Chains A and B, each alone.
Chain A
Amino acid sequence: MNDSIYLSIQNSPRFKELVSKRERFAWILSAIMLGLYSGFILLIAYGPQVLGAKINPESSITWGIPIGVGLIVSAFVLTGIYVRRANGEFDDLNNAILKEAQQ
């Protein structure tokens, strides 16, 4: 690999598009995950009674159960959303950049 290929990629508008799109997407998803988890920790520290409240008077299930399981599921769903877009749209763009640069 020589430096000129790197330089041409670095200056290509497609590369800039890829980087800005992918970075923004990654940071937004990270912020969502961190936000959800921080919210959960804050709820444990300051409002445990919210998590201990029953979802309805007849049920013994408390809000903490769907919220906790929801967090586990959301971690999986968020990774799924990222992988779908990164392995599709972003990788296509990436391949186009590499092809263009090697010509």
Chain B
Amino acid sequence: MIRRLLALLSIAAFAPGAWAADALTGAVQKQPLNVSAILMFVVFVGATLCITYWASKRNKSAADYYAAGGKITGFQNGLAIAGDYMSAASFLGISALVFASGYDGLIYSIGFLVGWPIILFLIAERLRNLGKYTFADVASYRLGQTQIRTLSACGSLVVVAFYLIAQMVGAGKLIQLLFGLDYHVAVILVGVLMCLYVLFGGMLATTWVQIIKAVLLLSGASFMALMVMKHVNFDFNMLFSEAIKVHPKGEAIMSPGGLVKDPVSAFSLGLALMFGTAGLPHILMRFFTVSDAKEARKSVLYATGFIGYFYILTFIIGFGAILLVSTNPAFKDAAGALLGGNNMAAVHLANAVGGSIFLGFISAVAFATILAVVAGLTLAGASAVSHDLYASVIKKGKANEKDEIRISKITTIALAVLAIVLGILFESQNIAFMVGLAFSIAASCNFPVLLLSMYWKKLTTRGAMIGGWMGLISAVGLMILGPTIWVQILHHEKAIFPYEYPALFSMMIAFVGIWFFSVTDKSTAADNERALFFPQFVRSQTGLGASGAVSH
């Protein structure tokens, strides 16, 4: 049991989504109807639909639809990135992890944060200067459009699909816990709402949904942390010593537990978290919503600040739950376990510090959080199909804007239907590995091609294509052969690939593949692509010729 739990915890470490998705896998107990939470959620939905209506009046061109006209400020974009990144799973999951094992929760949150400075230093400004709507714009800048756009669009769609399924199933489980409503209600509700936001409001509405959610989540979490600190007279020493007294693990909660087993797994996980973030299509797309490289840099600064602050809050909230929730019999069942499971630690704490109204608020925010994340994912998936596959691959860059947006809207509807169907199909499946897989694929396919296209002069279409596919296939293959799928889901005796996280190996395969098939490419097309590196380099550095804000 403990072994299984540890294994699950370490999978959960892969991504915020994995945690809740996993912890909420299997039968969850439906809670009694929570009327105040439902009312507050209805208010949130009403407000976001008004914003969607407002945004739909302002959306006129493709640039408006995909990139909010490039008119989002660095500060707004920083909040929206934070809103995109702080999932319900990271709020409930990390505070639950702190609640259950203390310090380990902090270790995981750090893994999610350290990728951001690297994105700023190495990627953000070049990405903004070279791209227009999707990261494939950048990856295929001087390479064969058909091959590289197809690769990047497939990489994006696979990442989006796995991430979406995890979010949909998570939403279904959450609604049972938080609102006391049925699983299918959540899946259909989320599918319909995300479709409305993206269909009518495009990037502008999606951005504002993410901003509002980030503000609500950050203020709710701040209030909870403040009340916890007030309880211990703003003395950290007292917070920790009181927690040690009441926690069954005692002093062990103040040091690393056994979650990171060996250095290879630890590094592989670290790489997936760090570089996976830099390959997530919905995150990369956010960089095209600001006017220039200066604002793009500011976005990362604000995003890092908000996300870091949020993780510190969840740490305090987790310890607060040890103090105020684990000691209160009202939050426990007869066996002494937390009502609704450990993922409810933060939700019960909301009740303990703010009463039933605040409990309703936090439940509504936790659910609203999922909407913000899935809207971003859907838009990224729809853009990959319309901008990359339709406009560039099928129409060879000669599509008119109207048709392109129409394709994007059709894709949005298709994605919503698909997400609802998959959400229902996967209700009782173990989907914990999916977000982990999404991060591994992003780190092994999208990221290497994107990075080398900006940094390495000798990259050719052949190298990027073969290496990129090798990364994608090896990430999926090693994940299937590893302990998570091979042993836990397919019930084989022993895993063929011994590590849970493939990123260390699949990234190496991708980089070596890209390098080898590029340097051995002696074709004239390859020479032309190498010659095009310098104009690209000048643009990436100076922003000369980059697309800016659109004025009406």
Contacts and interface: CB of A to CB of B under 8 A. Distances in A.
Q: Do A and B bind each other?
A: yes
Interface of A: 1, 3, 5-6, 9-10, 15, 18-19, 22, 26-27, 29-30, 33-34, 37-38, 40-42, 44-46, 48-49, 51-52, 59-62, 64-65, 68-69, 71-73, 75-76, 78-80, 82-83, 86-87, 91, 94, 97-98, 101
Top 7 A-B pairs ranked by shortest CB distance? A52-B255, A60-B241, A26-B121, A1-B545, A48-B256, A62-B254, A68-B106
A21 to B, nearest CB: 11
Given A69-B312, A71-B114, A30 B121 contact: yes
B266 interface: yes
Given A1-B545, A86-B297, A94-B543, 7 more contacts: A6-B535, A6-B539, A33-B118, A41-B267, A45-B263, A59-B237, A75-B113
Contacts of B60: none
A82 B113 contact: no
B541 to A, nearest CB: 6
Nearest to B266: A41
Contact of A83 (B256, B263, B301, B541): B301
Nearest to B541: A19
11 contacts: A5-B544, A19-B541, A33-B121, A40-B110, A41-B266, A52-B254, A72-B312, A75-B116, A79-B300, A79-B301, A98-B543
Given A6-B535, A10-B534, A51-B256, A44 B266 contact: yes
B538 A6 contact: yes
A9 B256 contact: no
Contacts of A83: 120, 297-298, 300-301
Interface stretch (B155-163, B217-225, B303-311, B321-329): B303-311
A76 B120 contact: no
B542 A98 contact: yes
Contacts of A18: 541-542
Using C-beta atoms within 8 Å of the partner chain, give the interface range for chain B: 35 or more
Interface in B334-374: none
A60 B254 contact: yes
Given A44-B266, A72-B110, A97-B542, A29 B294 contact: no
A67 B517 CA distance: 43
B240 interface: yes
Given A44-B107, A45-B263, A26 B122 contact: yes
B211 to A, nearest CB: 20
B437 interface: no
B270 interface: yes
A33 B225 CA distance: 28
Contacts of B118: 30, 33-34
A86 B125 contact: yes
Nearest to A93: B542
Contact of B256 (A34, A64, A69, A98): A64
Given A37-B110, A41-B260, A15 B542 contact: yes
A48 B544 CA distance: 50
B54 interface: no
B103 interface: yes
Given A1-B545, A19-B541, A86-B125, A68 B113 contact: no
Contacts of B538: 6, 9-10, 15
B117 interface: yes
A75 B308 contact: yes
B244 interface: yes
B234 interface: no
Given A64-B106, A65-B254, A30 B298 contact: no
A71 B304 contact: no
Given A5-B544, A76-B305, A45 B266 contact: yes
A97 B550 CA distance: 24
B309 to A, nearest CB: 8
Contacts of A30: 117-118, 121-122
A40 B125 CA distance: 28
Interface in B13-27: none
B278 to A, nearest CB: 12
A52 B257 CA distance: 10
Nearest to B255: A52
A72 B113 contact: yes
Contacts of B120: 79, 82-83
Contacts of B493: none
A68 B111 CA distance: 11
Contacts of B301: 76, 79-80, 83
B262 A45 contact: yes
Contacts of A94: 541-543
B236 interface: yes
B270 A45 contact: no
